[in-house]
Structure 1
Amino acid sequence: MTRTTLHEGWLLRANGGPAPDVLAGRDIPAQVPGSTHLDLMAAGLIPDPYLDSNEASLTWMHRVDWQYTTAFQASAPGVDERVELVFDGIDTIATIALNGVVLGRTANMHRGYRFDVRDCLREGHNELTVTLAAALTYAETAESQLGRRQRAYPHPYNAIRKMACSFGWDWGPDLQTAGIWKPVRLERWHTARLAQVRPLVTVDADGTGHVDVHLDVERAADRDYTAVVTVAGREERAAVTGDAAHVTVLVPDARLWWPVGYGEQPLYELTVTLLADAEAVDTDRRRIGFRTVTVDTEPDGTGTPFTFVVNGTRVFAKGANWIPDDHLLTRVTPARLARRIDQAVGANMNMLRIWGGGIYETDDFYAACDERGVLVWQDFPFACAFYAEEEPLWSEVEAEARENITRLVARPSLVLWNGNNENLPAYTDWEGWRESLDGRSWGLGYYTELLPALVAALDPTRPYAPGSPYSPGDLPPNDARYGTRHEWDVWNMLDYTHYRDHLPRFCAEFGFQGPPTWSTLTRWIRDQPLTPTSPAFLLHQKAGDGNGKLDRGLAPHLPVPDDFEQWHWATQLNQARAVAFGVEHFRSWWPYTAGALVWQLNDCWPVTSWAAVDSDERPKPLYYALKHAFAPRLLTVQPRHGRPTLVAVNDHDRQWTGTVSAARQTLTGDILATVEMPLDVAPRSVALLDLSDGLLTPVDPRSEVLTVAAGGIRVHHQFAEDRDLAYDPTPFTAEVTPVTGGYRVDVRATSYVRDLALLADKVAPDAVVDDMLVSLLTGETHTFTVRTAASLADPSALRHPRVLRSANAAARAEERPDKD
């Protein structure tokens, strides 16, 4: 088997539609893998669509057809040689021709294509053409034929098998990408090739690793074929009967793969070799991990749980939802994915949910999760819409699902296949949606018939869920007592304290918006003046009434500033507070509640959104709030039986013992009441500790705070909202000292300071601080470490009041003598 990539020498030209005159008859150098937007940007023919209001100026690209061409040298096929042209992914509606011969057409971004080119490959010069039709035009035509079905956004993204958010979302741009977005190559072979390798990896009750390799062979010659499988130094082989073989390898005492925080992640090399008359003709290599996974959905006295069980251990899922990390997908490198997964682990997450409006992620994503122990929940690509079950969609869905289930079947990190995102409640709960169908199909057959059947046949090693949210039987899909829940009333209409109104069994989506970091915001949005209602800022706020919800969510807790820079900080802080509030509530109810997946970890472009990490890879204050709220050990004050109660959460294999020290004191440091009590929390469990009336009964709620600490972990409990507290607006002093690789900022509290944050990127765009949202009592100190390659002319800028910020300043901004 020889494989030759065909990534060089490509040219792109507009092939029809409303392209500007500058593109007429013009060939533009193109990158493959790549996209039309990136090629036109590289040629200086369009501006960056992420900058200012450029997205709106590029809508003409929605209707343009494109043509990619390249030429390559090749030898003509031998008499007994097979030659195939392989595309791993095309975005999306394409006609492929080699030397003027049409090989086939594509209509699905989520799958690959293989074409036999023996009859048209020439000796020497060959010309390959990929003509792309406008996805929007195709989707509109398909919808007119299949019948209109409801969706959450204007374009008919549900009539085409393409990344749904390519057509715009409430956090993403409407660019409708096109291109050859994955590798393309020529494959040449004699005798036979491994057409499919599907390893099913399990662990027997006695600890023996069990690898069942199912493989399909495509023959070009009638030979005696043998499949050889090796793993962990053990080898097994079997004769290929017809076009298939099944080989089982047992690995005694296999080292188990565990989620991060539960153990190590050993990976084993698996090699599958195809022999023809004892000669190796094709080989497949990959890494596998031994583990078991189930989801406990056994009904109990309250409803139905949804608890992941890995290697027999029940796991609280701490994590976030994942969207494509760049709207222009081919810019997402393995290194960038590794950085993002590292950020998730750094925030104490153990799960990422790949959301159904995006893509099946690249192998690099799953490899990074395999290596780091991050559990992956994989949605099939259906989101917030009804989908026709008629042809040609049904066959396309089946083909993409078969391909991707097989591709990902051996990934130890992958722990759930999920049928869709929010399409079940769309049918039962969203006003007017069911009635609009008038009897037409809407996708239920995919979620309850096709997809579970494919998972059962191709990947019986891991569970399947019909959708998210989902409740069994005829129950409302978003019923908190059953299965998975999405909690969006808080963002859309309620104060974040209403997270406590529900006790979900597993919260798979919840979140609150905030703007990106200051450096990201000002790099991409250059309105003058920059305000929440300036044109480019509004174009980068995709949520309906997003700014109104930000202000209404802020007002009960902090004043809504008129100054934009103050508003930026206040809304970022409120986002962090809101989501951490929800996380702590959900974690406090373990094991009844078994998961909290925040919406969302990442952004795909610079935008005001729910993300913890913005599109320039900078962590927002929310990121640090999640790092604290998802910490292995957590103290949180929660209502129980009508009064505030201390909840100690121990997500650790070791017992948590020690002494709890609690104190009620004034903001200026006077101790009013103290209590000590023993702490003893079993591994992977939660304990409730009563707080005395003396701790919970302030004399002046505006001027007092309760702190509770144990084992270096502390929680601060206020008796009033920040806007009502008698904060000192300048409650600390700070000194900056250069150190190797950056700066040290030493802070001393002169009064109680809440949620101290060093917004280092405002001083140096590459600057990253080690922690944020730190609260200090009077007289306490804290050291921030800032990593940056910059040599600051004025290091004291790191303690400027608009860089070193706190909730005190946000609550009492009008009282600051240094207000600017």
Structure 2
Amino acid sequence: MIALLLLFGTAAAAIYDKPLATVPGQQDAIPNWDFQQLRKVSKTTAALSEPGVDTSSWHHAPVSRCTLMGCLLAEGTYATDGPDGLWYSDNLDSFDQSPFATPWVYRNQFNLSTGHISSKRHYFLQTNGITPAADLFLNGKQIADNVTQSGSYGGHTYDITALARKENALVVKVYPTNYQEHLAVGFVDWNPYPPDNGTGVWRDITIKQTGDVFMGPVSVLVDMGISMKQNKNRHAGVTVKAQARNLSKKQVKFIARAEIRTPDGKQLKVLNKTIHLGAKASATVELPANIQDPQVWWPAAWGKQPLYSVQLTYFVGHDTSDISPRTNFGIRTVASELNVHNDTLFKVNGYPIQIRGGGYTSDMFLRWDPQYFEHIARYVLDMGMNTIRLEGKMEHPELYDIADRLGIMIIAGWECCDRWEAWPYNDDISQDPPQKWSKVDYETANASIRHEAAMMQTHPSMIAFLVGSDYWPDDRATAIYLEGLYDAGWQVPIISSAAKRGYPKALGPSGMKMEGPYDWVPPVYWFDREPTDNRSGSSFGFGSELGAGVGTPTQGSLTRFLTDKDMEDLWKKPNKGLYHMSQNTSQFYDRSIYNKALFARYGKPTSLDDYLMKAQMMDYEATCSEFEGWASQWSASRPATGLIYWMLNNAWPSLHWNQFDYYLHPTGSYFGTKIANRVEHVAFDYFESFVSIINQSLDQSGPRSVHVDLVDLDGNSISQQKLHFITKPNKSQKIGDISSAIRMIKDVGLLRLLLVDDDTEKVLSRNAYWLSKQKDVVDWTTTTWYSVDVKQSANFTALNTMEQATITASASNNNNNSSGVWKLRVENNATVPAVFIQLNLVDKGGNDVAPLTWSDNYFTLLSRESIEVELTDWSGKGATVQVDGKNVKKSWIRLG
């Protein structure tokens, strides 16, 4: 109804007739909002919070949570897509930001189940963070000011029992956000700032009813001996924990009852405890249990993700006083340690694990779509990664639910470069006098860490919280963070920052490095490791954010947010600042470093198509070499213990820093990552010309062989070898030196590596490289925090004059086209290699279809070689597969 009314411009005010929080323990979100600039409203804020105010002329958002811009988008006032959309070309740059320079008000009118509030019925208003700060009014009275209700993560619970009526009106007055003054959710230099700087009710505000005993957030503490996966004599201690507060003026006796269920939903334990609380007193309730032979939660590549659940209820007499939502938890252990090199190493269930992840960002307007995030999460797994880092983008509880269910590990923490790190010793924020936190900042930090810790504590996907990003918190803030985390029952590592610049004494060194790069570097960068004291981001230690700055969308996506002139600039003006890069004050506002390398290595582009083909090849090289570099050094003398690729995704359609574009279309950076992260894989070392094998499993071992084939661009064999070895779980190792063969390359050679299980003859991994006789040589003396120069560039220009290869391809489906799963057979019928074959699924209108997964893509076939590829079309909208390649004529495969 709301959407229909919006269509005609006469949306109704936000009045929700169905009563909220009708029984004790129930909590309901405020379902929608009227909102308006305060200066356009004649009444006082208090008067606006009386029921019956006419808001028909206001804006109306049919959602429970939205920033001001998010609300305006939800209402339909603006759009992001299309030629008139905010994200098309540089439209956002001319957007009028002045309306957001003064306060706005959100208003909702809601009902409760009765107008008479009994002495045993209590109502609470719960916030989960409002950006940047807010005054709250209910039924004509102020219940909180912007000093208390401060910070994007500052969650609070307000007792509104004395003000509650049958008909109620809530008003939230939000103030303009300044990232240098408020503990907010910002975007640093990742993209242009939203016009409202994220101001507003970006998380739900809920109404909760209880009896005389109020329950705080539930935490679950797990005590499991670190035992091997096959040990059948395990047990786990589980303690259900929550605060209880007596709201009455007399002593109360209540029963705390926790029901624990197995992962398949069967009742496992019922725990009871009788507790006496004095008038207005509080106590911690703890209910311990022992679970024999527990089902253990594992990261996706190592096992299953069984989730137990618990529901805690407080009974006063025979009546429910408060009840928690059913809360999932997993039984697992997480630990971290500093190795002899002061690098952080994580362990899950006692096993060392190499962290392979990406840095996540929220949508520019903080719009949350759980399905969209689940697509991202499934892409993470499809790329063979195991972790997502949340730098100040903690989103909503559903994110952690999805990660728990899918087996993705989460590293959360505060963001860099603004008020969160306004410390006198932060040299990156130059202000005179130096910034200092105020008393309010410390209070906001306390509310923030307590809220976030309570939200995250039960989730087995959580493996660490970083209380700093680029810089560490001061001692006072550190103490606040630690107390808040420990009070929530925090059991996973707490790390001082994501860098090695310093640390608070209470936490010690972070064991993580943040030395770049963030812009293009050649593949050899990741393998040239010695001496480690001046090799910055090379593959050793724990790299908390690093990458070659790639992530070029293909033309199907580019046309959705760029004009023809914008796309022409990509290849005709290689040094031009581009609006869809980083901010215009950033080192990353143009593609000059990237384009200099592309022009030098692949030749000057002759068209947009030519530029995009070369860009995809360079993006593939970049991510594949980075992840292979780290994976191949997992068992080195100074191991590569983990990396977070910068970045996983974008807040809007961007031209860099992603592993797939905003529209979820996977391209070169995606498939380079995917091939490098096979569970069992074989990789080429660009620096030493060694072949390494990688085993990221816990239980796969046995005899293997690597088939090494090196050919020239005419398809003639340069070298053939077969290397035999025994693979071991969770290990990497060098198995062969092929430098003599590599030296035989005349201009450009193609190296194919096949990893084969000797017992089954199954191909476990297939990988191909294009290698130049003239190698990339890094000039390490020019290293900056974001890139490095090269003394010499590889020369791949011979690829531009290759003979064209003839490809045949066919598709089959065994389920009458209903499953969305297709088998494609692609064969190179030519005597020359078919280089960098791209498969792209489009619908009947020729538009890219996403999300989807390919078992392999962007691959190279030697002469007469064929490959079978599996396509999973998640939406079922695919009609045709487009086939293209560096030396392959475009063709099409019809599906069905």
Which band: TM-score by shorter chain? 0.7 to 0.9
Q: How far off is 1:30 after superposition?
A: 2.0
Tell me which residue corresponds to 1:418.
466
| Cα distance, 1:237–1:258 mapped onto 2, change above 3 Å | same
Who is 1:764 aligned against? 847
1:535-569 CA-to-partner distances (Å, cap 9, x unmatched) read: 99922122534221220232342224252333233
Deviation at 1:708, TM superposition (A): 3.1
Secondary structure, counterpart of 2:674 in structure 1? helix
CA contact (8 A) 2:176 2:196 kept: no
Which amino acid is the alignment partner of residue 621 of structure 1?
Answer: G
Cα RMSD for the two superposed structures = 3.3
Answering whether residue 91 of structure 2 is matched by residue 54 of structure 1, we say: yes
Which of 149, 156, 169 aligns to 1:113? It is 156
Matched, 1:271 2:311: yes
C-alpha distance in structure 2 between counterparts of 1:107 and 1:761, whole Å: 47
Per-residue deviation, 1:733: 2.3
Is residue 2:766 matched to residue 1:714? Answer: yes
Pick one of 169, 180, 183 that aligns with 1:161. 183
- Structure 1 counterpart of 2:766, one-letter code: R
> Following TM superposition, by how much is the alpha carbon of 1:450 offset from its aligned partner in structure 2, in angstroms?
3.0
Q: Output aligned runs, 1:122-521, within 5 Å.
A: 122-123=165-166, 125-136=167-178, 157-165=179-187, 169-170=190-191, 173=194, 175-204=196-225, 207-221=234-248, 222-231=251-260, 232=262, 233-242=268-277, 243-244=282-283, 245-284=285-324, 285-298=326-339, 300=340, 303-324=341-362, 326-330=363-367, 332-356=368-392, 358=393, 360-383=394-417, 385-387=421-423, 388-424=436-472, 443-445=473-475, 448-470=478-500, 483-489=511-517, 491=519, 494-501=521-528, 502-511=538-547, 512-521=549-558
Aligned mate of 1:723, from 796, 806, 816: 796
Shift of 1:669: 3.0
Aligned: 1:27 with 2:58: yes
Q: How many angstroms does 1:769 deviate by? A: 6.1
Gaps of 5+ in 1: 19-23, 137-156, 425-442
C-alpha distance in 2, partners of 1:609/1:703? 27
- 5-14 vs 213-222, which moves further: 5-14
Q: Are the structure 2 counterparts of residues 79 and 280 from structure 1 closer, same or farther at C-alpha, using a change threshold of 3 Å?
A: closer
Which residue identity lines up with residue 418 of structure 1 in the other structure?
Answer: L
Deviation at 1:404, TM superposition (A): 1.3
User: Partners of 2:727 and 2:682 in 1: how far apart?
Assistant: 11
Structure 1 pair 508–82 and aligned structure 2 pair: CA distance change class (3 A): same
Residues 1:68 and 2:106 aligned together: yes
Contact 1:485 1:504 in 2 (8 A): no
TM-score for the superposition, normalised by structure 2: 0.77
1:585-634 deviations in whole A, cap 9, x for unaligned? Answer: 11111131111221121121111121112222222221111111111112
Pick the structure with more helix per residue: 1
Q: Residue 673 of structure 2: which of 606, 622, 626 is its match?
A: 626
The worse-fitting range, judged by mean Cα deviation, of 42-51 and 306-315 is 42-51
Distance 1:41 1:392, change over 3 A: same
Q: Distance in 2 between matches of 1:372 and 1:599?
A: 22
Per-residue deviation at 1:279?
3.9
Q: TM-score by structure 1 length?
A: 0.83
Q: Give me the whole-angstrom Cα distance separating, in 1, the residues matched to 2:454 and 2:618.
A: 43
Aligned residue among 769, 772, 775 for 2:860: 775
1:685 aligned residue: 731
Quick one: structure 1 residues 529 and 341, their matched pair in 2 at CA, closer, same or farther if it must change by over 3 Å? Answer: closer
1:669 is matched with which residue?
715
Q: Which residue does the alignment assign to 2:628?
A: 584
2:156 and 2:447 in contact (8 A); partners too: no
Match of residue 692 from structure 2: 647
Give the superposition deviation at 1:645. Answer: 1.2
From 72, 92, 97, the equivalent of 2:137 is: 97
Number of positions where the alignment pairs a residue of Structure 1 with one of Structure 2: 744
Partner of 2:807: 733
Q: Aligned to 1:594, what secondary structure does the other structure show?
A: strand
Residues in 2 aligned to 1:6 and 1:708: alpha-carbon distance in whole angstroms: 55
Task: Measure, in 2, the Cα distance between the counterparts of 1:474 and 1:118.
Answer: 42
Residue 177 to residue 665, structure 1, CA distance change in 2 (3 Å): closer
1:572 positional shift: 3.2
Determine if contact 1:468/1:508 at 8 Å carries over to the other structure.
yes
Structure 2: distance between partners of 1:278 and 1:541 = 61
Secondary structure at the aligned position of 1:161 is classed as coil
**Conserved 8 A contact 1:527-1:537:** no
Name the aligned partner's letter for residue 158 of structure 2: F
1:794-805 pair list within 5 angstroms: 798-799=882-883, 804-805=884-885
SS in 1 for 2:768: strand
CA contact (8 A) 2:305 2:404 kept: yes
2:36 to 10, 13, 33: 13
Cα deviation per residue 1:325-370 (whole Å; 9 max; x = unaligned)?
A: x22223x2222222211111111111111113x3x23111111111
Unaligned runs of 5+ in 2: 1-23, 42-54, 81-85, 227-232, 263-267, 424-435, 529-537, 757-762, 774-793, 891-896
The one-letter code of the counterpart of 1:329 is L
Question: How far apart are the structure 2 equivalents of 1:670 and 1:805?
Answer: 20
The amino acid of 1:599's aligned partner reads W
What SS does structure 2 have at the residue aligned with 1:708?
A: strand
Q: Give secondary structure in 1 for the equivalent of 2:199.
A: coil
Q: Which amino acid aligns with 2:177?
A: A
Percent of residue pairs bearing the same amino acid type: 16
Question: Relative to structure 1, is the Cα distance of residues 729 and 692 closer, same or farther in structure 2, using a 3 angstrom cutoff?
Answer: closer
Q: Which stretch shows the higher mean deviation, 257-266 or 465-474? A: 465-474
SS at match of 1:196: coil
Check whether the contact 1:227–1:238 (CA below 8 A) recurs between aligned residues. yes
Paired amino acid for 2:496: P
Matched residue SS, 2:295 = coil
CA apart distance, 1:398: 0.9
Contact 1:606/1:615, CA 8 A, preserved across alignment: yes
Who is 2:4 aligned against? none
Aligned mates of 1:392, 1:279 — CA distance in 2: 40
Which stretch of structure 1 is more off in the superposition, 97-106 or 622-631? Answer: 97-106
C-alpha contact (below 8 Å) 1:47/1:54 kept by paired residues: no
Contact preservation (8 Å) 2:298, 2:305: yes
Q: Give secondary structure in 1 for the equivalent of 2:154.
A: coil
Preserved CA contact (<8 Å) 2:134 2:172: yes
Indicate the residue corresponding to 1:427 in structure 2: none
Question: After superposition, what is the alpha-carbon deviation per residue over 1:127-180, rounded to whole angstroms, capped at 9, x for unaligned?
Answer: 2222222123xxxxxxxxxxxxxxxxxxxx142121022x76347655412332
